Structure 1
Amino acid sequence: MADQERDIEVHDYRQSAIIGEDIPNDPSKYREETAAEIAAPVSFGRRRGYDDLRERAEGGSGTGFAALALSIVSLFVMPILFGAVGIVLGFIARRKGAEGLGAWAIGIGAVSIIIGIFVLPFF
């Protein structure tokens, strides 16, 4: 075991008078372990970002299509009632992840209510 030991010089660099002289040029003279600071953390769990967004969008798509259908139907039949229900379901669909369907349902429902209140009474 004694022949496996290395003869390592240990210098005390704290006593130098010249600036920069206390920094060794040989990297083997540094006695630090830096693997923990350099290595990236390893994640063994599932990827949460992509899967959660996909599940969230799939959960709101049914509600989004129902909201869009009610908003379109409200253009022709009972615009105040179906338009309001389409807007409410549109907000629910947006919260569940179907942002595009919900936004279209809200917009068409609002247009249907405006047309039903201000334009249809004159016909």
Structure 2
Amino acid sequence: MAKRHKEEKEREEMRQLESSLQNERDQLEDTDRNSAEWSYANTEPVDVEAASELAEPVRRNNWGERRKEGESGGRTMGIIALVLSLISFFLLPFLFGSVGIILGVFAAARGSRIGWWALALSIIAIALSMIIRPIMRY
């Protein structure tokens, strides 16, 4: 009889725990709806308290702003790389072509299509100089 009473008590405690966790989940969802710009990394019921105390909130809109900043910096760097790769067709292809490749890779990593064009043109300029110069010397 005492064992059964103890089991019923434990079940009641578990129900209370589950209901309190559900209330916490509901409160978190309400706060997430009210402040849509904030999100927390851990929202599982067991880790909610620790996560909200330890983790810093991450802004969702910040990623788009960073990407836009990177694109503008990548575009400028891509244009510089493109100019250097075009210069490499006429003057010092190994020097200007190498710098065009390096800047083109950095610009492409920042999301600029111009960086890819500069990279390709620099490689073509170096390859053509390796093929044409030996032929012209003979």
Q: Same fold (TM over 0.5)?
A: yes
- Tell me the equivalent position of 1:79: 93
Using the TM superposition, give the Cα deviation of residue 94 of structure 1 relative to its aligned residue in structure 2, in angstroms: 2.4
Higher helix share: 2
Using the TM superposition, give the Cα deviation of residue 49 of structure 1 relative to its aligned residue in structure 2, in angstroms: 1.9
Larger Rg: 1
Any idea what SS the aligned residue of 1:119 has?
helix
1:109 maps onto 2:122 in alignment: yes
- Aligned partners of 2:99 and 2:73: how far apart in 1? 19
Do the aligned partners of 1:87 and 1:109 also contact (CA within 8 Å) in 2?
yes
Q: CA RMSD in A?
A: 2.7
Question: Which portions of structure 1, spanning 4 or more consecutive aligned residues, are displaced by more than 4 angstroms?
Answer: none
- Tell me the equivalent position of 2:76: 62
Using the TM superposition, give the Cα deviation of residue 122 of structure 1 relative to its aligned residue in structure 2, in angstroms: 1.1
Q: How many pairs were matched up?
A: 95
Could you report, residue by residue, the CA deviation over 1:30-51 in whole angstroms, capped at 9, with x for unpaired residues?
9x74633654722255711211
- Tell me the equivalent position of 1:119: 132
The sequence identity of aligned pairs, in percent, is: 28
Do the aligned partners of 1:64 and 1:98 also contact (CA within 8 Å) in 2?
no
Could you report, residue by residue, the CA deviation over 1:26-75 in whole angstroms, capped at 9, with x for unpaired residues?
xxxx9x74633654722255711211110111122221111000001111
Any idea what SS the aligned residue of 2:107 has?
helix
- Tell me the equivalent position of 2:11: none
Between 36-45 and 75-84, report the one with greater CA deviation. Answer: 36-45
